[in-house]
Amino acid sequence: MNLRPPYDALLIALCYVVIAVLWVAFSDWLLVLLVPNPALVRNLQTYKGVGFVVLSGGMIYLLMRVANREQHRTEMQLRRLSRAVEQSASVVIITNDRGEIEYVNPRFTEVTGYTFDEVIGQNPRILKSGATSPEEYEHLWKSITSGHDWHGEFYNRRKDGGYYWVSATISPIRDTQGRITHFLAVQEDITGRKHAQENIERRNRELLLLNRVISAAASSLQVEEVLSVTCRELAITFNVPQVVIALQGQDSDTLDIVAEYGSLHPGAESALGLTIPLHGNPAIECIMESHEPCAFEDVQRDPNMAVMRPILQRRGVASTLLVPLLVRNQLVGLIELDTAEPRRFAPEESALAKHVAIAVSQALDNARLYQKVADHNDLLMRAIAEHTEELQRVKDRVEAILNNSPDAILLLCSDGRIETANPSFYRLFGIEEDVYNQPISQLVDAEDVLALRRALKVAAEEARVMRIEVTARRGDGSMFDAGIALSPFEERGMRRLVCVLRDITPLKEVERMKDEFVSNVSHELRTPITSLKLHHYLLGVNPDKRNDYMDSLAREIERLADIIENLLMLSRMDQDHISLQLAPLDIDTLLMQYVSDRALIAEDRGLELVHKPLAGLPLVQADRGLLGQVLSILLTNAFNYTPSGGRVEVRSLLAEEDGCRRVGFSVTDTGYGIPLEEQPYVFDRFFRGQVAKETGSAGTGLGLAIAREIVERHGGRIEVASSGREGEGASFCVWLPADCE
Ligand code: ADP
């Protein structure tokens, strides 16, 4: 059994009491039992009282010893406890139940600076810093007076005015009756930890601020957005009512406030748009020189604020921290942290503001670079767009040329295979399927294949433009005359050929007509000249018939003159050397004159010539001589191509067309007529129809061409109508504009 000191002493005492009682009651017995000698028993019985006394004394002695040992042990413990408290690293304060300090340990003095004697009898509130609220103190007092422990932290003031943090536990101390007689406060100095924690928190806040500003700077190239985020974050972190940012203005002599957050007074005017002079401004010179933030605690009095003071005072700024924004060591702006109450900016605050300014400066630089790149990009894009547009225009033009060219244009490989062909090619050849990779030689007559291949070879190998005329074959097998031009060019190191293929049928026709004309003209000129020569000869050999010969000579000369006149007339018209002498003309008067002039000739030819005028015919603006020439040509043709016995009728005409009245005349005969297939060509130059050839009538094929030129120059038109059947004759109508509305 392991009993604690008071109990083992009692037990020993109890044992002694029991032994003593047993001794008194049973000592005789024991003596008889234990001692065989009766004499000795008797002797011993006489000392029974002595034994009792000895026993009692021993017992008391023993009790005393036990009691002493307990006291000693308690003293030892108290001493140990006292040493522990004295040497404790914790602050120990013991107050009485009224809160008056009765004991503080040496650590208390170390921490607070107050000595033991200075605080005895004092209330611990001498340490109050004001950081703990009265409610908190009330709660503390309630807890400990109601017998509970209180745990918490105090921000206290030392004797020297400095501050320190403690973590405290305050416990009530009760007496044996359970009454609270004292309070024990054990406190740990946690100032270091608190400072470290505050440092961490401050660092965190700074990092958060930097992070927000840098994130804004990194995520946005919009300067305004970065500046606005910076103002807001700085105002929150530094707990200042207003932050503004000014950037270098257009004239570079001022800083213009371009961003702001918060205001110094309710309803205060915005600072945006205000300008800060750069030169002759000591505050700006201060940050320009040092490249460091400058704090001005008293805007009102600081001499460096002389220039800025009016601006700041108007806004109600009491203290300001100016932080330079530097891009490549050049001041481009500043951040202004403003307060309405005087404030001192700590060095670490300046340092943090500087870090923020570096991030903002970087963002400004990036934004400017980006703007430069964007501007350059814009320029580039515009140039590309213009070039693309130009290319598109060129492409459109080339396409328009290719698509609308009447000639077939093909792109050929050097060996003559077709790569591409324009729409005209397909139209001209009447082909629908793609001709890609087909040899061009298959489009020409077999007889021309060799010549074409030779031309291709020379063009490709000698890089010479080749021209060749071939007979081309359409898709339906029909042939036409084609002129081919082969132009070589280089494309990515490959020789290719542009082939322009033209239908030269009309040219060939013109050529043929020209040949025919030359032969006709030569014939027509030769005939009168031969006749002239003959009559000239006859005049010499047979002067009696002089008059007859002279008449013939005159007619031939006349005929020759006509032919030459016609040729000259066309030539003059081609060169635009003929001007119309317009004057109001009565068509019927003209018709009547010509009909009457030709009456004898008609009679001579056995033809009936009739004029049918129209009443109320309006006048026309016309060149009388030229219009008479048209009528003359038509009458001549009617006489030439109507056999004797026929009839020639001349009529004046009136019609209305598209709101315009038209006046005209017609010459209708009952002659050979004009075959339908010839009708499209009768107005072409040098064209002479079958009937002209068969009848051998004099002519050059120029009459109707001249007539059409003259009529068209009057703004009119000439038409032919004929059934094409012999004997049904032909009719020519001339229409001229009268008075158009
Ligand atoms: P030319 O009469 O000198 O041959 P034109 O130009 O006057 O030349 O006429 C062209 C052709 O038109 C004539 O060759 C003829 O074939 C045809 N022609 C013109 N007028 C008539 C007509 N009244 N009847 C039949 N054919 C005509």
For the segment 435-442, the average pLDDT, to the nearest whole number, is 94
- CA distances to 28, 55, 185, 368, 662 from 46, in Å: 10, 15, 67, 127, 193
Ligand 1 test: best mutation among 704, 711, 732, most atoms within 8 Å of CB?
Answer: 704
Closest CA to 358 of 332, 338, 379: 332
For the segment 495-500, the average pLDDT, to the nearest whole number, is 95
What are the pLDDT digits (tens) for 355-397?
A: 889 888 888 887 778 778 888 889 999 999 999 999 999 999 9
Tell me: pLDDT of 639 over 50. yes
Please tell me the distance from the alpha carbon of residue 232 to that of residue 240, in angstroms, as a whole number: 10
**Most confident option among 132-141, 561-570, 674-683:** 674-683
Ligand 1 atom closest to Cα of residue 691: 16
Are residues 633 and 707 in contact, defined by beta-carbon separation less than 8 angstroms?
yes
323: Cα separation from own chain's centroid: 36
Ligand 1 test: best mutation among 513, 642, 666, 688, most atoms within 8 Å of CB?
Answer: 688
Please tell me the distance from the alpha carbon of residue 410 to that of residue 400, in angstroms, as a whole number: 15
For the segment 6-28, the average pLDDT, to the nearest whole number, is 69
Give the pLDDT score at 211.
83
Please tell me the distance from the alpha carbon of residue 736 to that of residue 711, in angstroms, as a whole number: 8
Tell me: pLDDT of 86 over 50. yes
Are residues 331 and 287 in contact, defined by beta-carbon separation less than 8 angstroms?
yes
User: Closest Cα to atom 7, ligand 1: which residue?
Assistant: 703
For the segment 76-92, the average pLDDT, to the nearest whole number, is 88
Tell me: pLDDT of 731 over 90. yes
Instruction: For ligand 1, say whether the CB of 638 is within 6 Å of any of its atoms.
Output: yes
User: Closest Cα to atom 11, ligand 1: which residue?
Assistant: 688
Tell me: pLDDT of 36 over 70. no
Q: What is the DSSP letter of 268?
A: P
Query: 566-569: which pairs have CB atoms within 8 A and are 24 or more residues apart?
Result: 566/700, 566/702, 566/703, 566/706, 567/521, 567/700, 567/702, 569/706
Interval between CA 652 and ligand 1 midpoint (Å): 21
Q: How confident is the model at residue 67 (pLDDT cuts 50, 70, 90)?
A: low
Give the pLDDT score at 34.
59
Strands (E) in 194-253, as ranges, are 242-248
Helix axes 223-238, 191-219, angle to 10 degrees: 170
What's the token pair of residue 35? 């001692």
What are the pLDDT digits (tens) for 99-119?
A: 899 999 999 999 999 999 999
Interval between CA 554 and ligand 1 midpoint (Å): 25
- CA distances to 530, 538, 554 from 543, in Å: 19, 8, 16
CA Rg value for the chain: 69
Please tell me the distance from the alpha carbon of residue 731 to that of residue 666, in angstroms, as a whole number: 7
Indicate the range of 233-237, 583-587, 640-644 predicted with least confidence: 233-237
User: Closest Cα to atom 4, ligand 1: which residue?
Assistant: 701
Please tell me the distance from the alpha carbon of residue 118 to that of residue 110, in angstroms, as a whole number: 13
Give the pLDDT score at 591.
97
Give the pLDDT score at 447.
95
Interval between CA 460 and ligand 1 midpoint (Å): 50
Give the pLDDT score at 173.
92
Closest CA to 356 of 331, 334, 330, 328: 334
For the segment 443-447, the average pLDDT, to the nearest whole number, is 94
Structure-token match 């001499």, residue found: 303
Please tell me the distance from the alpha carbon of residue 328 to that of residue 325, in angstroms, as a whole number: 10
Dihedral sign from CA coordinates of 369, 371, 375, 377: positive
Give the pLDDT score at 44.
59
- The CA-based dihedral angle spanning residues 527, 533, 535, 541, taken in that order and rounded to the nearest 10 degrees: -150
What are the pLDDT digits (tens) for 250-302?
A: 777 889 999 999 998 888 888 898 889 888 899 998 888 899 999 999 999 99
Ligand 1 atom closest to Cα of residue 667: 23
Are residues 365 and 357 in contact, defined by beta-carbon separation less than 8 angstroms?
no
* Burial class, 247, CB count within 10 angstroms (exposed 0-12 / middle 13-18 / buried 19+): middle
Please tell me the distance from the alpha carbon of residue 231 to that of residue 248, in angstroms, as a whole number: 17
- The torsion angles phi and psi of 686, rounded to 5 degrees, stand at 70, 0
Interval between CA 525 and ligand 1 midpoint (Å): 18
User: Closest Cα to atom 12, ligand 1: which residue?
Assistant: 682
Supply the mean pLDDT for the chain: 87
Indicate the range of 100-104, 249-253, 461-465, 505-509 predicted with least confidence: 249-253
User: Closest Cα to atom 8, ligand 1: which residue?
Assistant: 701
For the segment 404-420, the average pLDDT, to the nearest whole number, is 93
Give the pLDDT score at 481.
94
Instruction: For ligand 1, say whether the CB of 730 is within 6 Å of any of its atoms.
Output: yes
User: Closest Cα to atom 26, ligand 1: which residue?
Assistant: 674
Are residues 560 and 600 in contact, defined by beta-carbon separation less than 8 angstroms?
no
Q: Angle 443-446-448 (CA atoms, 0-180°, nearest 5)?
A: 80
Structure-token match 């206290």, residue found: 156
Please tell me the distance from the alpha carbon of residue 106 to that of residue 113, in angstroms, as a whole number: 10
User: Closest Cα to atom 25, ligand 1: which residue?
Assistant: 673
Are residues 285 and 277 in contact, defined by beta-carbon separation less than 8 angstroms?
no
Instruction: For ligand 1, say whether the CB of 528 is within 6 Å of any of its atoms.
Output: no
Q: How confident is the model at residue 506 (pLDDT cuts 50, 70, 90)?
A: confident
Query: pTM for this one?
Result: 0.43
Tell me: pLDDT of 41 over 80. no
Please tell me the distance from the alpha carbon of residue 229 to that of residue 1, in angstroms, as a whole number: 79
Q: How confident is the model at residue 691 (pLDDT cuts 50, 70, 90)?
A: very high
Instruction: For ligand 1, say whether the CB of 517 is within 6 Å of any of its atoms.
Output: no
Q: How confident is the model at residue 564 (pLDDT cuts 50, 70, 90)?
A: confident
- CA distances to 27, 51, 573, 667 from 23, in Å: 5, 9, 183, 193
For the segment 453-472, the average pLDDT, to the nearest whole number, is 95
Q: How confident is the model at residue 479 (pLDDT cuts 50, 70, 90)?
A: very high
- The torsion angles phi and psi of 324, rounded to 5 degrees, stand at -75, 145
Instruction: For ligand 1, say whether the CB of 672 is within 6 Å of any of its atoms.
Output: yes
Instruction: For ligand 1, say whether the CB of 241 is within 6 Å of any of its atoms.
Output: no
Ligand 1 test: best mutation among 682, 695, 719, most atoms within 8 Å of CB?
Answer: 682
Dihedral sign from CA coordinates of 595, 596, 600, 603: positive
Interval between CA 521 and ligand 1 midpoint (Å): 15
In sequence order, the β-bridge partners of residue 184 are 94, 171
Give the pLDDT score at 1.
46
Please tell me the distance from the alpha carbon of residue 18 to that of residue 25, in angstroms, as a whole number: 11
In sequence order, the β-bridge partners of residue 261 are 243
Q: Which amino acid belongs to residue 683?
A: F
The contacts of residue 658 (CB under 8 Å, 6+ apart) are: none
Q: Which residues of 65-103 are buried (b: 16+ CB within 10 A; e: fewer)?
A: ebeeeeeeeeeeeeeeeeeebeeeebbbbbbeeeeebeb
Tell me: pLDDT of 593 over 60. yes
The more confidently predicted of residues 407 and 217 is: 407
Q: Which amino acid belongs to residue 88?
A: S
What's the token pair of residue 651? 């009529």
Give the pLDDT score at 448.
95
In sequence order, the β-bridge partners of residue 675 are none
Are residues 177 and 144 in contact, defined by beta-carbon separation less than 8 angstroms?
no
Tell me: pLDDT of 308 over 80. yes
Are residues 257 and 275 in contact, defined by beta-carbon separation less than 8 angstroms?
yes
Instruction: For ligand 1, say whether the CB of 513 is within 6 Å of any of its atoms.
Output: no
What is residue 433's three-state secondary structure?
coil
Tell me: pLDDT of 597 over 80. yes
Are residues 663 and 738 in contact, defined by beta-carbon separation less than 8 angstroms?
yes
3-state secondary structure 298-317: CCCCCHHHCCCHHHHHHHCC
The contacts of residue 579 (CB under 8 Å, 6+ apart) are: none
What are the pLDDT digits (tens) for 189-206?
A: 898 888 888 888 878 877
Instruction: For ligand 1, say whether the CB of 703 is within 6 Å of any of its atoms.
Output: yes
Interval between CA 348 and ligand 1 midpoint (Å): 115
Please tell me the distance from the alpha carbon of residue 89 to that of residue 183, in angstroms, as a whole number: 19
Region of 416 on the Ramachandran plot (φ > 0 left; ψ -120 to 50 alpha; else beta):
left
Give the pLDDT score at 516.
74
Interval between CA 562 and ligand 1 midpoint (Å): 16
Give the pLDDT score at 53.
65
Q: How confident is the model at residue 43 (pLDDT cuts 50, 70, 90)?
A: low
**Most confident option among 1-10, 42-51, 644-653, 695-704:** 644-653
3-state secondary structure 397-432: HHHHHHHHCCCEEEEEECCCEEEEECHHHHHHHCCC
